[in-house]
Amino acid sequence: MSITYRPLGRTGLKVSPLCLGTMNFGPQTSEPDAYAIMDKAQDLGINFWDTADVYGWKKGEGVTEQILGRYFAQGGGRRDRVVLATKVYGDMDLPDRPDPNFARGLSARKIVQACENSLKRLQTTWIDLYQMHHVDRACPFDEIWTAYETLVRQGKVLYAGSSNFAGWDIATAQAAAKERHFMGLVCEQSVYHLDNRMVELEVVPACRHYGLGLIAWSPLGGGLLGGALQKRKDGRRSGEGFEKNVDKKRDNLEKYETLCRELGEAPANVALAWLLHNPVVTAPIIGPRTMDQLTAVSKVPDIKLSPEMMKQLDEIWPGPGGEAPKAYSW
């Protein structure tokens, strides 16, 4: 894997073209296996890592952040080599100690206290990228940016990011930041893959306009684009909902997996490479459960898709018709 690091949005921060997602660490990947995956990611030069306070799925505990914190505590420059991203918004209210200010939201109090808690769990003194995990339209951005300014001034947060924002949410956030002479958002993390291209209507244009890097989550469509038909032939099955979606998309998948075989590349790698051909995309998030899954995608940054291949993918997986309003108007 040859790494060409790229700027995160309009910043001078250099990150790898693949982002290591850690959501599986704890619930599906044991701590020792997670350590091995993180070591391998560093060996491969993947320096951009993403987590969230709610990951681990034990309410209020931050299980995945704790795993990362114990990994960093081993020393050896592990933390220093990582551009570390985590998130705030989710419900971190402890079941035995209810507190409405730790429920979902982005109040200044929630942001500041959540950051302190994440720093403790991650065993670090700073977070490179602190992302709002979801928009909170009940909370004004003047309040949100007050909290971020405090954390930046204290050196606890370096950059602000968003996740699951609409295009107009990005515009609203940046307008409020500009009035405060604050940098505002540097990236947006959205669901984006060949079978879900809705962000091309307004989120992608907003990111381009404001200089935000787009971080694609679920880049394989929950496994749909990872060779679902071939895996079914090999006797591997998933949940009922996934199987229904495979049946629904069978025609698209047959064309897609045939095209990938002709190209000589795994379907998952083609789906990830397609995202990297979009200049607005900084990195797709890969969420390996196993070492094999990590090493399988390590060649993605080296895959070059021809204009003809991009055209064929567009025919198999058509988007919304371009950017708004031309996609639906004139």
The answer to whether residue 55 is catalytic is yes
* Least confident segment among 39-48, 121-130, 175-184, 238-247: 238-247
Mean pLDDT (whole number) for 308-325? 97
Residue 310 predicted with pLDDT over 80: yes
Give the list of residues 6+ apart from residue 42 with CB closer than 8 angstroms, or none: 78, 81, 82
Element (H, E) at 292: helix 291-296
pLDDT at 235: 66
pTM of the model: 0.95
Pick the CATH number of 6-316 from 3.40.830.10, 3.20.20.100, 3.50.50.60, 3.40.50.720: 3.20.20.100
Phi, then psi, of 167 in degrees rounded to 5: -60, -40
Q: How far is CA 65 from the centre of its chain?
A: 15
pLDDT reading at 238 higher than 90: no
**High-pLDDT (> 70) share of the chain, %:** 98
**The two three-digit tokens of residue 6, written as one number:** 């790229």
| Contact present, 223 and 271 (Cβ < 8 Å) | no
Task: Answer yes or no: are the C-beta atoms of 15 and 5 closer than 8 Å.
Answer: yes
Does residue 94 surpass a pLDDT of 80? no
Alpha carbon separation from 89 to 5, 17, 72, 182 (Å, rounded) = 29, 26, 24, 21
**Distance in angstroms (rounded) separating the CA atoms of residues 54 and 110:** 14
Decide if pLDDT at 226 tops 70: yes
Q: Are 53 and 90 in contact (CB under 8 A)?
A: yes
**CB half-sphere exposure, 178, CA atoms < 13 A:** 7
pLDDT at 98 over 90: no
Is 322:257 a contact under the CB 8 Å cutoff? no
Lowest mean pLDDT among 22-26, 89-93, 285-289: 89-93
Q: Which of 55, 130, 159, 210 is catalytic?
A: 55
